[in-house]
Structure 1
Amino acid sequence: MDPTTRQAVNAITEALEEGRDVAEFLAHALAHVAAAEGGVDEVLRNRPGSWEATHVRGLLHGTVGPDGEALIHYLETR
């Protein structure tokens, strides 16, 4: 497993062990990335046509709206 995937696995496992709603955790984490990167399509830019991207796009559209109208709520200054 590569180091970046290992970090993601550790973060998700920690959230689960804390009793967090992992689906919500993932949706909000992805929404923060989408807001920082400039939109849902930017999160999926490396492989936008994959079946995985289709599901992640659906998750993000459910979280931030189909036009990204709620992205502003996830934008943070670094």
Structure 2
Amino acid sequence: MTDIGLPARLSPELQRPEWPDGAEKPAVGACFAGYNRHRMTGDRRTVSHIVVLEERRVFGWAVVDPDGRYGDPAPEPKSP
């Protein structure tokens, strides 16, 4: 359930996820990046902050726009 690589195997848009800090085990407050490609919008990066985690039950994250691709940069999960 917390394998961030699984969606990339199923998605035509998500090319690869990665743990920027080298962590491989999710925890509340940890971040991971997603590298996406879409034929209409091109390449983009997202950053996701894990906001809730209950092993084997819940894995929730907030996606932010740290690069300001869709408006003002929003690097914090308070403004996903």
Query: Which has the larger helix fraction?
Result: 1
Indicate the structure whose relative CO is greater, using CA pairs within 8 Å and at least 6 residues apart: 1
TM-score by length of 1: 0.24
Query: Which has the larger strand fraction?
Result: 2
TM-score by length of 2: 0.24
